[in-house]
Amino acid sequence: MVEELDLEGLSEAALNERLQALAGRGGQVVLHNTRARHNLVVNVSGELDVAIQGSAGFYCCGFMNGPRVTVTGNVGWYAADNMLGGSLTVGNNAGSNLAPSMIGGLVLVHGSAGSRVGYGLKGGTVVVIGNVGMLTGQQMLGGRIVLLGAAGPGTGESMYGGAIFYRHGALAASGTNNRARGLEPDETGWLAALLAEHNLPLNPDEFECLAPTPGKQKYHLFKPRLDAREKAV
């Protein structure tokens, strides 16, 4: 049975409590009049399909564990923050800092995402079909990020764990403390299955991977450029 909820006059806290009550029983919920409100589907755990008709604001699906959420429009910054499980599928674009400190689950963005996708990511999978801004996967601890479009500078900056998959030539510049490598056999299989599951007509052969540099990280405070010359005005 599909339950239709109009958010007009309903607070975010009341909505999330309602969703949590429904999550115990499974089922489907369609949310209308979301008007990019913040904190939608926060701390909801259990089996539930949630369809957001429109856009969501900040922290959509934060601390969520279990529900499958689709958003027809955009999501704001920090979507899927600290998410533990379930999935968030975004029809359009996502703001910056998508899936910060996410622990598990799947985030799939059909459009583009801003900077710092997967900041401090711990686990789960983040897929962005469009382009992403700078510093994707900064200081991520684990999990996997799959980028189908172009990526801005600083990708994989100081990553401690996990992997970032990107298409050949799509990286503007990677950050420090990571290294590019080919895909391991298990990663190839996993990526092929992921692409097929989401009807993305690409071959894992088109991808390479950023992984952490083994050993201690290098930090940069001062790096003199001894070959620098004053630019003529």
Partner 1 sequence: MVICDASACTDCAKCIKVCPPNALRFPGAVEAAPHMLAASNGSGPSGARLTGGGWASATVREIQEKARTGKHIVRGCGTTRRLPTLDDLVLLPAGLSRMPVDTYREAAVTRTVLGARFASRPLVIETPIMVAPMSYGAISREAKLALAMGSARVGTAMNNGEGGLLPEEVEHSYRQIVQVCPSRFGFSLRNLELADAVEIVFGIGAKPGLSGHLMAEKMTAEIAAFRGLPPGIDLASHPRHGDIFGADDLMVKLQELRQITRGAKPIFLKVGAGRVYEDVKIAAKVGVDGITIDGMQGGTGAGPVIAIDHLGMPTLAAIVQATRALEDMGLKDEVSLMVSGGIRDGADVAKALALGADAVLIGTGAMVAMGCTVCLECHKGECEFGIGTQKPELRERLNVKLAAHRVANYFTAMTNELVILAKACGKRDVHNLEREDLRAVSLEACAMTGVPFLGTDYTFTQPFGFFG
The verdict on 155 binding partner 1 (CB under 8 A) reads: no
Q: Quick one: which of 5, 36, 51, 141 contacts partner 1 (CB under 8 A)?
A: 141
Residue 16 CB, nearest distance to partner 1 (Å)?
6
- Give the C-alpha separation, 66 to 211, whole Å: 28
Q: Quick one: which of 9, 169, 185, 215 contacts partner 1 (CB under 8 A)?
A: 215
Cβ-contact 174, 193 below 8 angstroms: no
Number of residues that bind partner 1 (CB under 8 A): 39
Residue 218 CB, nearest distance to partner 1 (Å)?
10
Stretch that binds partner 1, among 46-54, 138-146, 148-156, 193-201 (CB under 8 A): 138-146
The verdict on 125 binding partner 1 (CB under 8 A) reads: no
> Measuring CA to CA, how many Å separate 181 from each of 163, 187, 210, 213?
10, 12, 6, 11
Q: Quick one: which of 8, 201, 219, 225 contacts partner 1 (CB under 8 A)?
A: 219
Q: What is the DSSP string of the chain?
A: -EEEEE-TT--HHHHHHHHHHHHTT--EEEEE--TT-SSTTTT-BSS-EEEESS-B-TTTTTT-EEEEEEESS-B-TTTTTT--EEEEEESS-B-SS-STT--SSEEEESS-B-S-TTTT--SSEEEESS-B-S-TTTT--S-EEEE-S-EEEEETTT--S-EEEEETT-EEEE-SSEEEEPPPHHHHHHHHHHHHHTT----GGGEEEEEEPSSSPP--S----TT--PPP-
Residue 1 CB, nearest distance to partner 1 (Å)?
26
Residue 59 CB, nearest distance to partner 1 (Å)?
5
Cβ-based nearer residue to partner 1, 10 or 141: 141
Stretch that binds partner 1, among 2-10, 165-173, 182-190, 215-223 (CB under 8 A): 215-223
The verdict on 207 binding partner 1 (CB under 8 A) reads: no
Residue 90 CB, nearest distance to partner 1 (Å)?
17
The verdict on 144 binding partner 1 (CB under 8 A) reads: no
The verdict on 84 binding partner 1 (CB under 8 A) reads: yes
The verdict on 63 binding partner 1 (CB under 8 A) reads: yes
Residue ranges that bind partner 1, judged by CB under 8 A: 12-13, 16, 38-39, 42-43, 57-59, 62-63, 65, 77-78, 81-82, 84, 96-97, 100-101, 103, 116, 119-120, 122, 139, 141-142, 160-161, 212, 214-217, 219, 221
